[in-house]
Structure 1
Amino acid sequence: MAASVLLASFLMLTCLLLAEGKTHRVAPGPAAGPLNLTTILEKSGQYKTLLRLLKETQVGVQIQSQLNNSYNGLTLFAPTDNAFSSLKAGALNGLNNQEQVSLVLYHVLPRFYSPSMFESSSNPVNTQASGSDGVYTLNVTGTSNQVNISTGVDQAEISNILYSEFPLTVYSIDKVLLPYQLFGPKPPEAAPAPAPVAAHKKKHKKAAEDLAAAPAADADIKASGTRLKKSKLMWGLALWGFLFFVGSLM
């Protein structure tokens, strides 16, 4: 009898425990969505300026499209808001729309780079802004503890890894990467070409000759006037003599 009661109690307790566990079972979390660069940057809260530029230049849309269709992956160097704040006043506003696009693309490498891959990478490294003429490139040097990026205008260091899983790596950097083509020293403006020396001398020689010939020309004019007066006087005398001769015959 006691054994029956004990068995019944055990069965009842087992049923209660199963029911309790069923009642408090934790629902499975939502399945992971597609990779989203904007979400990665928004989590930190330190990349508002970069997010704005990605949106205004449409580079963010381009990156998202490439992540879904690229076999090489992408690498983004993400300057913090403090990095943008340290720029000289008007540095961004002084760029036109196309130059702003080039600036943002300059921070994107057209392949996936893990930190260790920078130790063996060859320089210069092409960016998404690079063309066939080899402009808008970077020099990246890496060790096991530090990665430095040089543009020819400034240098930056990777301070943190925000995300690193193929096809995307996002590195936080402490400086905005300034392309030499946009922020390097401007070549001096070419001075206007001087007038050809020979033509210059010829012009002055002619002016001098004209000046020297002016008195002679005046003298010729005066001489011609004198000769004309003498000729008129002689013709007048001859005519008067002829008339006097005719008158004496009559």
Structure 2
Amino acid sequence: MATNFRLSTPFKFLTLLLIILQCTTTTIVVVAQAPAPAPTGPTNITKILEKAGQFTTLIRLMKVTQLGDQINTQLNNSNQGMTVFAPTDNAFSSLKAGTLNSLSDQEKVSLLQFHVVPTYLTNAQLQTVSNPLRTQAGDTASNKFPLNVTTSGNQVNVSTGVVDTTVSNSIYTDGTLAVYQVDKVLLPMSLFGPSAPAPAPEPLKKKKSGADDVAPTTDAGSDNADASGAGSDLHGLYIGVVAFITMLYL
């Protein structure tokens, strides 16, 4: 029995060692086979909006005008950041019926470009930005495409001169692209502002008073006077001739 005990102890030790080595090897293999994190794909504004939900109309307009592709190209091929104000489907539904259909293709492009700022703005930067913000629509003149951002506490307000709304949510931010939800479509002055008043008609020219008014009368009077004078001269000549003939016969 003693001999059997001495033989079984090394065997147990070796068995335990093999089990430990097997477990260690299995763990190493499992770790080595774990997949690496997938690389971040190119930025895609429409996919970001699709994931967020409630932006179906905006996505459709971005595809029709190809603005979505332009944004993706700029973000993925340059260091230029970008900020997008994204109106919800309810925001578009709140527009007057036929508003979008009344716009030409170029006007639809300008409308969407008015929602895109060609710089990356964090929520904190929105509270200190200088107005008016320059959007991709261009001219910031008061009757063109002015976009003003103000704050009240932590609330960020956006005004176009036609509508006022607030930034209700931060949808996406990655240090290059920031997408903020707004609950109204940002309508620019150039497309939706009041029409310019029609030019006033030119005043009628008044007739000059005074000497100019009586000038025609004076000319007529002169003509009459000349005619009268001529008649008197002829009459005098006639009398003279008659008198001369009478003298001859006497």
Q: What is the TM-score of this pair, normalised by structure 1?
A: 0.71
1:172 equivalent in structure 2: 181
Do residues 42 (structure 1) and 50 (structure 2) align?
A: yes
Task: Output one character per residue of 1:108-129: Cα deviation in whole Å (capped at 9) or x when no partner.
Answer: 0111100101222111111110
Task: Output one character per residue of 1:192-228: Cα deviation in whole Å (capped at 9) or x when no partner.
Answer: 55665559xxxxxxxxxxxxxxxxxxxxxxxxxxxxx
Question: Equivalent residue of 1:125, what SS?
Answer: coil
Paired amino acid for 2:43: L
1:8 equivalent in structure 2: 14
**Aligned pair partner of 1:118 in 116, 126, 137:** 126
Question: Equivalent residue of 1:129, what SS?
Answer: coil
Paired amino acid for 2:20: T
For the 8 Å contact 2:162–2:187, the answer to whether it is kept is yes
Distance 1:10 1:78 in 2: 64
**Aligned pair partner of 1:140 in 149, 155, 159:** 149
For the 8 Å contact 1:153–1:183, the answer to whether it is kept is yes
Question: Any unmatched runs of 5+ in structure 1?
Answer: 200-250
Aligned pair count reads 200
Distance 1:137 1:52 in 2: 25
2:60 equivalent in structure 1: 52
Do residues 185 (structure 1) and 191 (structure 2) align?
A: no
Task: Output one character per residue of 1:64-85: Cα deviation in whole Å (capped at 9) or x when no partner.
Answer: 1221344441100011111111
Alpha-carbon distance, 1:94 to partner: 1.0
Question: Equivalent residue of 1:102, what SS?
Answer: helix
2:171 equivalent in structure 1: 162
For the 8 Å contact 1:116–1:142, the answer to whether it is kept is no
Alpha-carbon distance, 1:30 to partner: 2.1
Paired amino acid for 1:152: G
Distance 2:138 2:106 in 1: 14
Alpha-carbon distance, 1:38 to partner: 1.7
Paired amino acid for 2:114: Y
Query: CA distance change for structure 1 residues 123 and 74 in 2, over 3 Å: closer, same or farther?
Result: same
Query: CA distance change for structure 1 residues 85 and 133 in 2, over 3 Å: closer, same or farther?
Result: closer
Alpha-carbon distance, 1:137 to partner: 1.9
Aligned CA-pair RMSD: 2.6
Distance 1:198 1:58 in 2: 62
2:220 equivalent in structure 1: none
Q: What is the TM-score of this pair, normalised by structure 2?
A: 0.71
Alpha-carbon distance, 1:189 to partner: 3.2
For the 8 Å contact 2:140–2:146, the answer to whether it is kept is no
**Aligned pair partner of 2:114 in 89, 102, 106:** 106
2:236 equivalent in structure 1: none
